[in-house]
Amino acid sequence: MRAPFVVLSPQSIILERGVYRLDAKDGSVQLVKSEGGQGQAVVRGRFLTIAPLGKYLHVEKGDRCRDLTGPLTARWKDGVSLTARLPLVDYLAAVVGSECPPGFEPEALKALSVLVQNRLFFEQGQEGGITDDTNVMAYLGAQYARPECLAAVKKTLGYKLMEDKKLLFPYFHSTCGGKLSTISVFDGKTKNGSVANPLHCPYCKSSPFCKVHKEVISLTECKEIFSFVPLQIMQTDSSRRPLRVKAASANREFELTGYELWLKLGQKLGWGFAPGLSYSFKSDGKGNLVFESLGAGHGVGLCQWGAQGQAAQGKTFSEILRYYYPHCRLVAPGRLK
């Protein structure tokens, strides 16, 4: 962490400059000045709460770097665990900016802002708080709360997207590549009539992911990395996203969902290997598997680049949301609790 910041507890101390690290020792957390070797602990306690003195509190953890506008609490929990408390508008704007690249139209940002607020309702009560990665919603730091994102959040603050009389649990993704799917892609099961409504999304053609992405991996690498080799896609949904995949380990053949394989590819090989769940693979006859992927993300719910395409054509955020969630209604602040 980079000073200036203030330690609020267990004692109040202002640190004006320098680089500090958080260590865990003897069941407690300590703040150590990193400059000049090991250094001595500046403050120690069962937990430490640190707040920015300037605009941001700059924090680095592993390969993650975050700028925070609120206090950070470090606790001992099998090492150091970090929890930030952020102002609502700051968090929402930073998530919208983390999820969408610069240059998105205001109405597309507003549509995503409504969905982020809906999703936050379901996540805010989770034990341990909300994670900052794509397992929930990407939060890359306060610097991503660009002015246009902040404006979109302020104009949609308190809006809700309702399904019947319940708040919608929303799914959204980067680029569908032209066709949407339902939540059946997550568990690999389909029901009669289980088709996304709408099925087609012709609006995301300007996305850099709206083209086929190809990667090659050897069968040897597959065995070393995954301990199995994918053999065949057994079933796809109506949008050609894999539902069931046959694979083989050293001793047996088995099945996993297309979504499970996609997650393993991303976790082990990087999310750029197969950016979209709309993927296929085949042997090249030379001991390799050739993967082809279209789009980015799982393809369920709102397509962010599709929302951008609609906004560029003059659609409002309410019209965009109505397109992707035709059975839902948008409720203005104060109209319905």
Asked whether residue 127 carries a pLDDT value surpassing 90, the answer given is: no
57: left (phi over 0), alpha (psi -120 to 50) or beta: beta
The confidence score (pLDDT) of residue 200 equals 96
Q: What is the mean pLDDT of the chain?
A: 92
> What does the domain layout of the chain look like in residue ranges?
5-84, 88-170+301-331, 185-200+207-294
Q: What is the pLDDT of residues 156-194, one digit of tens each?
A: 999 999 999 899 999 999 999 999 999 999 999 887 777
CB neighbours of residue 259 within 10 Å: 19
**Helix segments in the chain, DSSP class H:** 88-99, 106-123, 147-156, 184-187, 219-226, 258-269, 304-312, 317-324
Element (H, E) at 65: strand 64-68
CB neighbours of residue 298 within 10 Å: 23
Q: Considering only CA atoms, which of 122, 112, 87, 234 is closest in space to residue 173?
A: 112
At a CB cut-off of 8 Å and minimum separation 6, what does 25 contact? Answer: 44
Q: What is the pLDDT of residues 208-253, one digit of tens each?
A: 999 999 999 999 999 999 999 999 999 999 999 999 999 999 889 9
Asked whether residue 337 carries a pLDDT value surpassing 50, the answer given is: no
The confidence score (pLDDT) of residue 36 equals 61
Q: What is the pLDDT of residues 51-107, one digit of tens each?
A: 999 889 999 887 889 999 999 999 987 778 889 999 999 999 999 999 999 999 999
Percent of the chain with pLDDT over 90: 76
Q: Considering only CA atoms, which of 133, 135, 110, 130 is closest in space to residue 120?
A: 130
Q: Considering only CA atoms, which of 155, 158, 160, 123 is closest in space to residue 139?
A: 123
Q: pTM of the entire structure? A: 0.92
